Structure 1
Amino acid sequence: MSPLSTQATPPFAGPKPSLPREYGEQMPHTPLRPMWFCRADGRQWPCAEARLRLRAEFADNLPGLAIYLAGMQYEATRDLYHLNPHDGPSPRELFDRFVAWGPFRKPAVAPREGFGSS
Protein backbone atom coordinates (compact mmCIF):
# COMPACT_ATOMS: atom_id res chain seq x y z
CA MET A 1 0.00 0.00 0.00
CA SER A 2 1.40 3.39 -0.90
CA PRO A 3 2.03 6.01 1.82
CA LEU A 4 -0.39 8.37 0.11
CA SER A 5 -3.30 5.92 0.42
CA THR A 6 -2.70 5.54 4.15
CA GLN A 7 -2.52 9.30 4.70
CA ALA A 8 -5.62 10.26 2.75
CA THR A 9 -8.82 10.64 4.71
CA PRO A 10 -11.76 8.59 3.47
CA PRO A 11 -14.45 10.54 1.61
CA PHE A 12 -17.66 11.49 3.34
CA ALA A 13 -20.76 9.41 2.72
CA GLY A 14 -22.63 10.54 -0.36
CA PRO A 15 -26.33 10.47 -1.19
CA LYS A 16 -28.45 7.57 -0.03
CA PRO A 17 -29.86 5.60 -2.98
CA SER A 18 -33.60 6.04 -2.53
CA LEU A 19 -34.59 5.93 -6.18
CA PRO A 20 -36.42 4.58 -8.03
CA ARG A 21 -39.41 5.03 -5.77
CA GLU A 22 -41.84 2.18 -5.38
CA TYR A 23 -45.57 2.49 -5.54
CA GLY A 24 -47.47 -0.36 -3.99
CA GLU A 25 -46.40 -3.26 -1.82
CA GLN A 26 -43.54 -4.59 -3.95
CA MET A 27 -39.97 -4.72 -2.71
CA PRO A 28 -38.20 -1.61 -4.01
CA HIS A 29 -35.55 -1.92 -6.72
CA THR A 30 -33.04 0.01 -4.63
CA PRO A 31 -29.48 -1.16 -3.88
CA LEU A 32 -28.61 -3.26 -0.88
CA ARG A 33 -25.38 -1.74 0.36
CA PRO A 34 -22.47 -2.39 0.61
CA MET A 35 -22.74 -5.22 -1.96
CA TRP A 36 -24.81 -3.16 -4.42
CA PHE A 37 -27.31 -5.85 -5.33
CA CYS A 38 -30.98 -5.10 -6.01
CA ARG A 39 -33.25 -5.62 -3.00
CA ALA A 40 -36.04 -6.98 -5.19
CA ASP A 41 -34.38 -9.41 -7.59
CA GLY A 42 -30.83 -9.92 -6.30
CA ARG A 43 -29.11 -8.79 -9.50
CA GLN A 44 -26.37 -6.18 -9.65
CA TRP A 45 -27.86 -2.75 -9.11
CA PRO A 46 -29.06 -0.96 -11.16
CA CYS A 47 -30.95 -3.97 -12.49
CA ALA A 48 -33.02 -3.74 -15.67
CA GLU A 49 -36.18 -2.88 -13.73
CA ALA A 50 -34.39 -0.17 -11.73
CA ARG A 51 -33.04 1.32 -14.96
CA LEU A 52 -36.52 1.48 -16.46
CA ARG A 53 -37.96 3.04 -13.34
CA LEU A 54 -35.12 5.56 -13.06
CA ARG A 55 -35.64 6.59 -16.70
CA ALA A 56 -39.35 7.08 -16.02
CA GLU A 57 -38.75 8.95 -12.76
CA PHE A 58 -36.20 11.31 -14.33
CA ALA A 59 -37.98 11.64 -17.69
CA ASP A 60 -38.19 15.43 -17.31
CA ASN A 61 -34.73 15.81 -15.73
CA LEU A 62 -32.14 13.85 -17.72
CA PRO A 63 -29.20 15.89 -16.38
CA GLY A 64 -30.44 15.01 -12.88
CA LEU A 65 -30.41 11.32 -13.81
CA ALA A 66 -26.82 11.58 -15.05
CA ILE A 67 -25.77 13.31 -11.83
CA TYR A 68 -27.63 10.78 -9.67
CA LEU A 69 -26.00 7.85 -11.51
CA ALA A 70 -22.53 9.38 -11.18
CA GLY A 71 -23.12 9.81 -7.45
CA MET A 72 -24.23 6.21 -7.12
CA GLN A 73 -21.13 5.07 -9.06
CA TYR A 74 -18.97 7.01 -6.61
CA GLU A 75 -20.70 5.43 -3.62
CA ALA A 76 -20.50 1.93 -5.11
CA THR A 77 -16.81 2.38 -5.87
CA ARG A 78 -16.20 3.42 -2.29
CA ASP A 79 -18.17 0.51 -0.83
CA LEU A 80 -16.94 -2.21 -3.18
CA TYR A 81 -13.27 -1.27 -2.88
CA HIS A 82 -13.62 -1.08 0.88
CA LEU A 83 -15.00 -4.63 0.91
CA ASN A 84 -12.37 -6.06 -1.42
CA PRO A 85 -9.57 -3.63 -2.32
CA HIS A 86 -7.51 -6.13 -4.32
CA ASP A 87 -10.16 -7.83 -6.44
CA GLY A 88 -12.91 -5.25 -6.89
CA PRO A 89 -14.52 -4.33 -10.20
CA SER A 90 -12.50 -2.21 -12.60
CA PRO A 91 -13.35 1.48 -13.06
CA ARG A 92 -14.57 0.66 -16.58
CA GLU A 93 -16.91 -2.05 -15.28
CA LEU A 94 -18.38 0.36 -12.73
CA PHE A 95 -18.78 3.10 -15.34
CA ASP A 96 -20.58 0.70 -17.70
CA ARG A 97 -22.80 -0.56 -14.89
CA PHE A 98 -23.81 2.82 -13.49
CA VAL A 99 -23.33 5.60 -16.02
CA ALA A 100 -22.88 4.30 -19.57
CA TRP A 101 -26.52 3.27 -20.02
CA GLY A 102 -27.72 6.72 -18.94
CA PRO A 103 -29.17 9.54 -21.02
CA PHE A 104 -26.02 11.15 -22.39
CA ARG A 105 -24.14 8.22 -23.87
CA LYS A 106 -22.80 8.33 -27.40
CA PRO A 107 -24.10 5.81 -29.94
CA ALA A 108 -21.98 2.67 -30.35
CA VAL A 109 -21.73 3.24 -34.10
CA ALA A 110 -21.52 6.63 -35.72
CA PRO A 111 -24.30 7.35 -38.23
CA ARG A 112 -23.27 7.07 -41.86
CA GLU A 113 -22.95 10.21 -43.94
CA GLY A 114 -26.03 10.82 -46.04
CA PHE A 115 -28.08 8.20 -44.18
CA GLY A 116 -31.74 9.04 -44.41
CA SER A 117 -31.29 11.87 -46.89
CA SER A 118 -32.66 11.72 -50.40
Structure 2
Amino acid sequence: MMAEIPTTLRATRAGEALRAVDGLERRLDGEHLPRRPEWDCRTCAQRGTPWPCEPARAALTKAYGENRSGLAMYVGGLLVLAIAEMPTASTADLYERFVAWTR
Protein backbone atom coordinates (compact mmCIF):
# COMPACT_ATOMS: atom_id res chain seq x y z
CA MET A 1 0.00 0.00 0.00
CA MET A 2 1.35 3.40 -0.97
CA ALA A 3 1.80 5.99 1.78
CA GLU A 4 -0.30 9.12 1.63
CA ILE A 5 1.61 12.17 0.40
CA PRO A 6 1.48 14.92 3.05
CA THR A 7 -0.71 17.88 2.08
CA THR A 8 2.19 20.34 2.33
CA LEU A 9 4.26 18.25 -0.08
CA ARG A 10 1.34 18.01 -2.52
CA ALA A 11 0.91 21.79 -2.37
CA THR A 12 4.63 22.30 -2.98
CA ARG A 13 4.61 19.98 -5.99
CA ALA A 14 1.49 21.65 -7.39
CA GLY A 15 3.14 25.06 -7.05
CA GLU A 16 6.26 23.83 -8.84
CA ALA A 17 4.16 22.37 -11.64
CA LEU A 18 2.26 25.62 -12.10
CA ARG A 19 5.55 27.55 -12.30
CA ALA A 20 6.69 25.09 -14.96
CA VAL A 21 3.55 25.82 -17.01
CA ASP A 22 4.16 29.56 -16.63
CA GLY A 23 7.60 29.13 -18.21
CA LEU A 24 6.31 27.29 -21.27
CA GLU A 25 5.34 30.35 -23.29
CA ARG A 26 8.88 31.71 -23.04
CA ARG A 27 10.52 28.35 -23.77
CA LEU A 28 8.27 27.65 -26.77
CA ASP A 29 8.17 31.21 -28.15
CA GLY A 30 4.39 31.22 -27.73
CA GLU A 31 3.86 28.35 -30.17
CA HIS A 32 2.78 24.74 -29.64
CA LEU A 33 1.57 25.41 -26.10
CA PRO A 34 -0.69 22.92 -24.32
CA ARG A 35 -4.44 23.45 -24.12
CA ARG A 36 -5.33 22.44 -20.60
CA PRO A 37 -6.80 20.43 -18.99
CA GLU A 38 -6.85 18.20 -22.10
CA TRP A 39 -3.13 18.69 -22.72
CA ASP A 40 -3.53 18.85 -26.49
CA CYS A 41 -1.37 21.16 -28.59
CA ARG A 42 -3.10 24.50 -29.27
CA THR A 43 -1.38 24.78 -32.65
CA CYS A 44 -1.81 21.15 -33.74
CA ALA A 45 -5.27 20.79 -32.09
CA GLN A 46 -7.16 20.39 -35.36
CA ARG A 47 -5.42 17.06 -35.69
CA GLY A 48 -5.98 16.16 -32.01
CA THR A 49 -2.26 16.06 -31.33
CA PRO A 50 -1.37 15.30 -27.70
CA TRP A 51 1.07 17.71 -26.09
CA PRO A 52 4.04 17.73 -26.12
CA CYS A 53 3.86 17.49 -29.90
CA GLU A 54 7.00 17.01 -32.00
CA PRO A 55 7.57 20.78 -32.52
CA ALA A 56 7.20 21.37 -28.75
CA ARG A 57 9.65 18.56 -28.01
CA ALA A 58 12.14 20.01 -30.50
CA ALA A 59 11.83 23.50 -29.00
CA LEU A 60 12.21 22.22 -25.44
CA THR A 61 15.21 20.13 -26.44
CA LYS A 62 16.80 23.19 -28.04
CA ALA A 63 16.02 25.34 -24.98
CA TYR A 64 17.71 22.86 -22.64
CA GLY A 65 20.60 22.01 -24.96
CA GLU A 66 22.93 19.47 -23.34
CA ASN A 67 21.03 19.56 -20.05
CA ARG A 68 18.86 16.47 -20.60
CA SER A 69 18.43 15.97 -16.85
CA GLY A 70 17.06 19.49 -16.50
CA LEU A 71 14.70 18.86 -19.41
CA ALA A 72 13.46 15.62 -17.83
CA MET A 73 12.92 17.37 -14.50
CA TYR A 74 11.05 20.22 -16.19
CA VAL A 75 8.64 18.01 -18.12
CA GLY A 76 8.35 15.82 -15.02
CA GLY A 77 6.91 18.84 -13.24
CA LEU A 78 4.43 19.24 -16.07
CA LEU A 79 3.60 15.54 -15.78
CA VAL A 80 2.55 16.07 -12.15
CA LEU A 81 0.05 18.71 -13.23
CA ALA A 82 -1.20 16.64 -16.18
CA ILE A 83 -1.85 13.67 -13.88
CA ALA A 84 -3.90 15.91 -11.60
CA GLU A 85 -5.85 17.40 -14.52
CA MET A 86 -6.47 14.08 -16.30
CA PRO A 87 -7.33 11.70 -13.45
CA THR A 88 -8.72 8.98 -15.73
CA ALA A 89 -5.62 8.81 -17.94
CA SER A 90 -3.07 6.06 -17.41
CA THR A 91 -0.12 7.37 -15.39
CA ALA A 92 2.21 5.07 -17.35
CA ASP A 93 0.94 6.45 -20.66
CA LEU A 94 1.35 10.01 -19.43
CA TYR A 95 4.90 9.25 -18.32
CA GLU A 96 5.71 7.92 -21.79
CA ARG A 97 4.14 11.00 -23.36
CA PHE A 98 5.72 13.64 -21.10
CA VAL A 99 9.05 12.26 -19.91
CA ALA A 100 10.26 9.13 -21.69
CA TRP A 101 11.20 11.00 -24.89
CA THR A 102 13.80 13.05 -23.00
CA ARG A 103 16.19 10.08 -22.63
Q: TM-score, normalised by structure 2?
A: 0.72
Unaligned runs of 5+ in 2: none
Quick one: which of 18, 35, 46 aligns to 2:38?
35
Select the structure that is richer in helix.
2
Unaligned runs of 5+ in 1: 82-87, 104-118
Number of residues paired by the alignment?
A: 88
Which structure has the greater CA radius of gyration?
Answer: 1
* Backbone CA RMSD of aligned residues: 2.2
- Secondary structure at the aligned position of 1:66 is classed as helix
* Residue 31 (structure 1) shift: 1.0
Q: How do 1:62-77 residues align onto structure 2 when only pairs under 5 Å count?
A: 62-77=68-83
How many percent of aligned residue pairs carry the same amino acid?
34
* Residue 61 (structure 1) shift: 2.0
Preserved contact between residue 79 and residue 99 of structure 2 (Cα < 8 Å): yes
Q: TM-score, normalised by structure 1?
A: 0.64
* Residue 89 (structure 1) shift: 1.7
Higher relative contact order (CA 8 A, sep 6+): 2
> Structure 2 counterpart of 1:80, which letter?
M
